Amino acid sequence: MSAVSRRWTPPPLIANPVLRYAIYGGVALYLVVAFGTVELNWARMSEGVVRAGRLFAGFLQPDFTSRWDDIQAGLLESLTMTVTSTIVGIILSVPFGIGAARNIAPLPVYAFCRAFIAVARSLQEVIIAIFLVVLFGFGPFAGFLTLAFATIGFLAKLLAEDIEDIDPAPLEAIRATGAGWWQVLVYAVLPQVAPRLIGLSMYRVDINFRESAVVGIVGAGGIGATLNTAMDRYEFDSAAAILLIIIGIVLACEYASGFIRAKVQ
């Protein structure tokens, strides 16, 4: 044994040294190039520091009262939009989810449902909202359609994966009693996926509320429109109040959904 170091070192994450250093080098190069193309306008940013201070002050002393009517109207739209779109989205996502599960749906139905889900998932809510506002006019109706569509994409995919993962034994057992397709669905599939479906639906409620704040920016109604107006007017204390309300409601939703999920699972 010559002078080999006896000091232990942990095995590297990427075993091949050539690949490892190539990746390190590539990452370093990318970072240099990427930072190089970020344009920083220092004059504008120093101006921003003052505004950031005002926004921060707004958080410490939010102004709920002077725009309360606007906030209330926006909040009402957001909340109603959340409830209706979640309910409609869940109802529609169940057939799509069943259709997209390979073990219970025939191939043409499966292909169609999977394609629909892929489209619904890859488009951003805001982009869908822009189009639906053009088609259906300004207001919460367009927002409702956007969120319902996005809910289908989200829930149907997870539901389909869940159905594909179910235990086949009860399925066989129910089928062996001479049950039809519907009866298999109701007595073998649904009981296995229901708890998770409820959990996911609760999770979707708070996603939909968060998104309802976003679609307002492009005119689809909700608290986002109010927030956009407040920012445009540089009313940071009202904007801070709206942000705090959003955080509060999301927190409440999360707490409630955690409670319900703990009960059903």
Partner 1 sequence: MPVSIAQDGTKLWQRRTSRAEWLHYAGWFALLLLFVFTWQVMTRDTIWAFVLDAPRQAADIGSRMWPPRWSYMSAVWKPLWDTINMATLGTLLAVAVAVPLAFLTARNTTPSARFVRPVGLLIIVSSRSINAIIWALVLVTILGPGVLAGILAIALRSIGFIAKLLYEAIEEINIEPVEAIRATGASPQQVLAWGIWPQITPAFAGISVFRWDINIREATVLGLVGAGGIGVNLESSLNTLAWPQVTLLLLVILGTVVVSEWVSAKIRHAII
**180 lines the binding site for partner 1 (CB under 8 A):** no
d(CA 193, CA 196): 6
Determine the Cα angle at 119 with ends 182 and 110, to 5°. Answer: 30
Cα dihedral 7, 13, 17, 18 in deg (nearest 10): -160
Query: What CA–CA distances, in Å, run from 106 to 110, 111, 140, 189, 238?
Result: 6, 9, 37, 16, 54
Contacts of 136 (CB under 8 A, 6+ apart): 142, 145
**52 lines the binding site for partner 1 (CB under 8 A):** yes
Site string for partner 1, 80-119 (x = CB under 8 A): xx-xx--x--------------------------------
Tokens of 227: 């927030």
Considering only the stretches 102-110, 149-157, 238-246, 256-264, report the one whose residues sit in contact with partner 1 under the rule CB under 8 A: 238-246
Residue 134: name the closest of 123, 146, 122 by CA.
146
Least distance in Å: CB of 1 to partner 1?
25
Least distance in Å: CB of 21 to partner 1?
17
Considering only the stretches 45-53, 97-105, 163-171, 193-201, report the one whose residues sit in contact with partner 1 under the rule CB under 8 A: 45-53
Considering only the stretches 64-72, 102-110, 153-161, 209-217, report the one whose residues sit in contact with partner 1 under the rule CB under 8 A: 209-217
**137 lines the binding site for partner 1 (CB under 8 A):** yes
**77 lines the binding site for partner 1 (CB under 8 A):** yes
**41 lines the binding site for partner 1 (CB under 8 A):** yes
Contacts of 77 (CB under 8 A, 6+ apart): 140, 143, 212, 216, 221, 222, 223
Could you list the residues that contact partner 1 (CB under 8 A)? 10, 13, 30, 34-35, 37-41, 44-45, 47-48, 51-52, 55, 76-77, 79-81, 83-84, 87, 122-124, 126-127, 130-131, 134-137, 139-141, 144, 210-211, 213-214, 217-218, 224, 227-228, 231, 234, 239, 243, 246-247, 250-251, 254
